């Protein structure tokens, strides 16, 4: 059983609160109120994110039409009174053969082809197993409170 009293009706419970911040009922009601607020805010965020997703999809469709125009007209940019559209290139590298790639890097001393970022999950596992982090690694951990709705997922 919880260290806190179970409180189902925050508004009714608020009426019987005293001002003692250490009173278990007072603490339980305040925590229940905070959880209720957090869940309401989470729902607002989900609704806003859904709307943002819709807006981004609309913008993506327009951007695709602009890119099609630039490509079909052979332009890299087009200046108008509303603004300038231009082609932006972003490269994304991935490995279809990680072992072959690593052998190539090592054989050709081409370490500039790698990102030098430690894997945080592997570093945490290493530290848990060995009692220390690998040399030169600093691991930052952020702790947050998560809320799960009654009978629901977090």
- Please state, for a pLDDT cut of 90, what percent of the chain lies above it: 63
Taking the CA atoms of 42, 47, 51 and 57 in sequence, report the sign of the dihedral they define: positive
Interatomic CA distance for residues 49 and 71, integer angstroms: 32
| pLDDT tens per residue across span 26-50 | 777 888 889 999 999 999 999 999 9
| pLDDT tens per residue across span 53-69 | 999 999 999 999 999 99
Name the token pair of 67. Answer: 């890119």
Instruction: Using alpha carbons, select from 21, 10, 43, 19 the residue that is nearest to residue 149.
Output: 43
More confident residue, 130 or 26: 130
Q: What pLDDT was estimated at residue 2? A: 44
| pLDDT tens per residue across span 70-121 | 999 999 999 999 999 999 998 888 899 999 999 999 999 999 999 989 999 9
Q: What pLDDT was estimated at residue 4? A: 47
Q: Is residue 70 helix, strand or coil?
A: helix
Q: What pLDDT was estimated at residue 3? A: 45
């Amino acid at each position: 059983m919880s260290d806190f009293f179970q409180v189902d009706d925050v508004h009714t419970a608020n009426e019987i609160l005293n001002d003692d911040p250490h009173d278990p009922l007072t603490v339980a009601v305040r925590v229940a109120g905070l959880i209720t607020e957090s869940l309401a805010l989470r729902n607002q965020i989900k609704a806003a994110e859904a709307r943002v997703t819709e807006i981004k999809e609309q913008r993506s469709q327009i951007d695709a039409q602009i890119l099609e125009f630039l490509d079909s007209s052979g332009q890299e940019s087009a200046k108008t009174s509303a603004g300038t559209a231009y082609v932006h290139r972003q490269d994304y590298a991935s490995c279809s053969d990680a072992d072959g790639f690593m052998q190539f890097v090592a054989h050709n001393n081409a370490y500039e082809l790698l990102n030098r970022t430690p894997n945080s999950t592997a570093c945490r596992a290493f530290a848990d197993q060995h009692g220390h982090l690998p040399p030169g690694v600093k691991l930052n951990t952020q702790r947050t409170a998560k809320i799960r709705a009654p009978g629901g997922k977090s």
